[in-house]
Structures are given as structure tokens and as C-alpha cells.
Amino acid sequence: MTSTPPPSLDVTGLAFAYPDGHQALFGVDLTVGRGERVALLGPNGAGKTTLVLHLNGILGGGVGTVRVAGLPVDKRNVAEIRRKVGIVFQDPDDQLFMPTVREDVAFGPAAAGLRGAELDERVRTALDRVGMAGFADRPPHHLSFGQRRRVAVATVLAMEPEILVLDEPSSNLDPASRRELADILRSLDVTVLMVTHDLPYALELCPRSVVLSEGVIAADGPTRDLLCDEELMRAHRLELPFGFDPRTVPAI
Amino acid sequence: MGAGHAHRLYRSGNSPVHRLPPHCKLAAVFAFVVVVVSTPREAVWAFGGYAVLLAGVAATARIPAGFVLRRLLIEIPFVAFAVLMPFVAEGERTEVLGLSLSVSGLWGAWNVLAKGTLGVAASVLLAGTTELRELLLGLQRLRLPAQLVQIASFMIRYGDVITDEMRRMSIARRSRGFEARGVRHWGVLAKTAGALFIRSYERGERVHLAMVSRGYTGTMPVIDDVTASRAQWAHAAALPAAALAVCLIGRTL
Ligand SMILES: Nc1ncnc2c1ncn2[C@@H]1O[C@H](COP(=O)(O)OP(=O)(O)O)[C@@H](O)[C@H]1O
Ligand SMILES: [Mg+2]
């Protein structure tokens, strides 16, 4: 047991109802091993965002447990959990709230107590990893959408998280920005959980996928196998784009 | 500092005044204004002295007189008020060009004009040599309530985002054949404002979520700590110190 590290993410029996009584999760079980890249697929309203907000303790109080690298998510260690779980939200304008790119990337590590040269170094490394080092002193709203999304990824990488969680990372990106982001995500040696409707993107980036539907994990397996299962896809309102055949795409 | 938020009052440069830490400049301007305001209005030549001091600062900052004068125009409402005072004030009256004017009104007008102009000119010089972002860091450093500084920096960050949203809504309105003309259409504009408020509010909630996710617990982490050396404080203190000297000489004469 001591030789193998605990999985980056371990969710067991997670159920949750919103205060208005609407039950969004009905017992979710999901384990993501260290270094894995997993796509979380599911139709609108499946509970994907609700699940994501449980991973760093924004939502809680339901049944079941969430562990990040062995550490249970609860009130006592919420600060450490938020350093370990890096969430990239869907709209980069929500994520980038500081006046300059540099300050935004520095926000997380500075909140964790980093200062001075160490902080500068973190910021530089994170921006380098997403190819945005030349934009440190620009205000976020002067960047293109694709650049903003990359900076949003850097803000989270700067915290050196155990697991990177991306909510719809390919939405609103043009084909070139989409590919650039894919290259960046593929180059990272960090555990990734990617929430998406973009099935070709899941196939391109994630060897494994899980389908969340009506608050439970309905399928879990190699991405190509899931996408080729037409009945499964139809049952969960997941549609491949016109003309896209997962059988003919070369393996990752 | 970021090249981004150059506001309209800012004039980029690399003079000794530009390089002073923002909180030193803020403190210096504040002290200068206090000295000016507490100078008795009868010490007419002291105000001339203050103007010379400001001209000296402008020269050091390499800010042309035209730049300062044009930005003094925001003072015009006060000028109008000052011009009225000699006509409406009570008390002893004097004849100027055949007009009967109140003496205390004249002094009052002079008081408002001289002190107002000097205060605005000092602020214009401060804004002209300090970026908005730096000003906020300076205010933070001077222990202004953190909440106020945060609100101001969010206004800078999201001002453009919200203006953009407003523009998109206006385009959507006009694409459906709506032009705001007259009172009949105010209802539609009010609804747009309401929608804008709700969108901004929801954005605020999402931004807060993103902040909390990165470890925000109610106070902004210190990222850029602006520090000032003793020499920088001394340089910044030159303006209010000289003004104080002028003021004391003015009182004793
Ligand atoms: N704040 C909330 N209060 C009540 N119900 C909510 C709230 N947020 C989401 N829901 C409901 O929970 C379900 C799951 O939502 P969500 O997790 O956002 O789905 P997804 O991200 O997969 O589209 C939906 O039916 C949604 O309407
Ligand atoms: Mg969602």
C-alpha cells in the first residue's frame, strides 16, 4: 500500500440535493488514478457541474465521500483541498478577475502564502507551460478568447494542483485555439478530469471516459469503445458531429 | 506596471515623479491640499507660491502646461458657483465697474477659486504621473479599507466587460427594430438596465466562486508589495514641506 500513491480522485457514493429539494446526484462512484486523463461526458443537466463543485468543497453536505490524493474533502482541510484541485471554469472572464495576467496567475499561490522571487518563478513557469509568458503585463480583456482560456489554465497550474478539472475547455474556441489547447493539455504531466460535450475532443485527449447521466455514472471505459456504442450514446443524448467516425480516428 | 490600464488622465513617462512609489505621491498630495486649504484666504501671495511649487512639479514630471490646463476644465461648475457669490452674498458692498458687489462674497469667491484650482491641479498631476493600478496599490498600502480597494479594482477589470455586454444588448435591441426615441421607450431601456444588473450580479457570483476555488478567504493576497525608501519619501515630502514653509511665511507677514 505504501508503494502506490493514492488515486488523485476517489469519489464514493456521492449523492446531493440542492436546497430547493432538486436532487442532482444519486450516488456517484468515480476513481481517477494519478496521471490519468479522463473525460466526463454527459448531457445538459446531468449533474456534471454539481459534481465538479464537490471536488473542492464548494458544495457539500450530502451523502458519500470525496478524497483528493487520499485527503478527504471536508471543512477542516478545505484550504489544502483547494490547492490540490485546480478548477478551470467555463468562462475565462469569470476566472480572470485581476487587472493583469501576471497578478491573476499569482493570485492562487499568493493566497497560499507564496511571496517574492518564489512567487515570480511560479508565475513564469505556469505562463511558460501555456505559451503565454510574453503576455504577463497585459490586462486579460485585451487577449483573444483562446489566449484567455490558456491563461485561465495557467492560473490553476500555478497552484501545482494534484488534479486539473476543466469545465467545457473547448467551448467557444476556433479550430486553431482548440488544437493549441489540446497540445498544452497533452504536454502536462498532471491528472486531468475534463468535462465536455465535445466527443472528438474527448477521444483526442482522454484514453478513458465516464458518462454521467441523471446523477449517476452510466458508463466507464475506453473513450473509443464508449463513442462506438451507438445505443449508449443515444440513450444519454450524446451525439457525434456529422461525419465523425470514432472507428477511423488513429489511436492516441 | 501593466501597460494596460492607461486611463485618460495618465500621461506615460519616466520622470522622477513617475518613478516615485504611489503611496508617497498620494500622501504628498493629501498633505499639500491640507496646507492649501488651511491657508487664510487673505494671504494672497501664498497661493501664488503654491502655484509656483506645482509648476515646478509639472516641470520635473515633464508634463506640459496645456495638459494640466485642459484637465482643469472639470472645475468649471465650481467657477460658476464662485462667480455668483459676490452678487448674492450679504454684507458690506463695493463698486467694481459700476456693479455693486459684496466684499465678503468677493473673498469667498477668491477662496473657492484659489483653493479649488490648486487642489484640482495637484490631483491632475498625481493622476498624470500614476497609473490607476498603481494608485490602487498605493491606497492599499496607505491602509484604505481593503473592501474599497477591491471594489475599485473590480470596476477597472470588469468595466470593459460590462460596457461590452451593454453594447451587445443595444445591438440586439436595434437588430429587432428598436430605436430609443422619447419617453415612450424608457420602459424598454429600464428593462435592459434590469437585465444588465442581473447579468452583472450573476457574473459576480461566478467570479466569487472562481476566487474561492483558488483559496480566497476574504482578503486579497499581497502580490505586489509597493515599498518606498527613505529617500523616496523625502522626495515626495518636498512638495508639502515647501508649501508649509510658504504658508507659515504667509501667516507671519
Ligand atoms: N443552484 C441550483 N439550485 C437548484 N437546482 C440546481 C442548481 N444548479 C443546478 N441545478 C439543477 O441540478 C441539475 C444538474 O445541474 P448541473 O450540475 O449544472 O448540470 P450540467 O453541468 O451537467 O449541465 C440540473 O437539473 C439543474 O437544473
Ligand atoms: Mg455545467
pLDDT tens-place string over residues B200-246: 888 888 888 899 999 888 777 878 777 888 898 999 999 999 999 98
Any domain includes A85 = yes
Is the pLDDT at A22 greater than 90, yes or no?
yes
Give the ligand whose atoms come closest to the C-alpha of residue A90: 2
Fill in the amino acid letter for B68.
V
Any domain includes A131 = no
**What residues line ligand 1, using a CB cutoff of 6 Å?**
A 18, 20, 22, 24, 42, 44-50
Any domain includes A113 = no
Any domain includes A252 = no
Residue B151 touches partner A, C-beta closer than 8 Å: no
Going from the Cα of A237 to the center of ligand 1, the distance in angstroms, rounded, reads: 17
pLDDT at B197: 80
Look up the domain containing A64 and give its range.
9-95+163-241
Any domain includes A152 = no
Fill in the amino acid letter for A63.
V
Residue with the smallest CA separation from ligand 1 atom 1 is A18
Contact A139 B161 (CB under 8 A): no
Least confident of A59-68, B108-117, B182-191: B182-191
Tell me, what CATH number does A86's domain have?
A: 3.40.50.300
Q: Output A185 or B148, whichever has higher pLDDT.
A: A185
High-pLDDT (> 70) share of chain A, % = 98
Any domain includes A138 = no
**Do the beta carbons of residue B26 and residue B142 sit within 8 Å?**
yes
Is the pLDDT at B4 greater than 50, yes or no?
no
Residue B189 touches partner A, C-beta closer than 8 Å: no
Q: Candidates A16, A22, A91, A165: which one to mutate for ligand 1, based on the most atoms within 8 Å of Cβ?
A: A22
pLDDT tens-place string over residues B150-192: 888 787 778 777 888 888 888 887 887 777 677 777 777 788 7
Q: Give per-residue burial for A12-43: e unless 16+ CB within 10 Å, then b.
A: eebebbeeeeeebbebbebbbeeebbbbbbbe
Q: What residues does A136 pair with on adjacent strands?
A: none
CB neighbourhood size of A134 (10 A): 10
Neighbours of ion ligand 2 (CB under 5 A): A 49
pLDDT at A252: 60
Domain count for chain A: 1
Give the ligand whose atoms come closest to the C-alpha of residue A211: 1
- B5 falls in which pLDDT band (50, 70, 90)? very low
If you count residue pairs, one on A and one on B, with CB atoms under 8 Å apart, how many are there? 91
- Show Cβ contacts of residue A160 under 8 Å, excluding neighbours closer than 6 positions: A83, A122
pLDDT at A153: 96
Instruction: Kindly report each contact of residues A220-229 with a partner whose C-beta sits within 8 Å and lies 24 or more positions away, as own/partner.
Output: A220/A30, A223/A39, A224/A249, A224/A251, A226/A41, A227/A199, A227/A202, A227/A203
The stretch B139-143 carries a mean pLDDT of 83
- B98 falls in which pLDDT band (50, 70, 90)? confident
- A36 falls in which pLDDT band (50, 70, 90)? very high
The stretch A5-16 carries a mean pLDDT of 95
Q: What residues does A19 pair with on adjacent strands?
A: none
Please name the residue that has the C-alpha cell 476644465: B73
Looking at chain B, how many residues does it have? 253
High-pLDDT (> 90) share of chain B, % = 20
pLDDT at B106: 85
Any domain includes A155 = no
Helix, strand, coil fractions of chain B, as percent rounded to 5: 70, 5, 25
Chain B interface disruption, residue of A73, A84, A97, most B CBs within 10 A: A97
CB neighbourhood size of B39 (10 A): 25
What stretches of A33-144 adopt beta strand conformation (E)?
A: 37-41, 63-68, 71-72, 85-88
Q: DSSP for A203-245?
A: HHH-SEEEEEETTEEEEEEEHHHHHH-HHHHHHTT--PPTT--
Measured between CA atoms, how close is A189 to chain B, in angstroms? 20
What average pLDDT does the structure give for chain A? Answer: 92
Chain B interface disruption, residue of A49, A53, A81, A100, most B CBs within 10 A: A100
Any domain includes A91 = yes
- B1 falls in which pLDDT band (50, 70, 90)? very low
Give the ligand whose atoms come closest to the C-alpha of residue A212: 1
Q: DSSP for B48-98?
A: HHHHHHHHHHHHHTT--HHHHHHHGGGGHHHHHHHHHHHHH--S-EEEETT
**Do the beta carbons of residue A54 and residue A27 sit within 8 Å?**
no
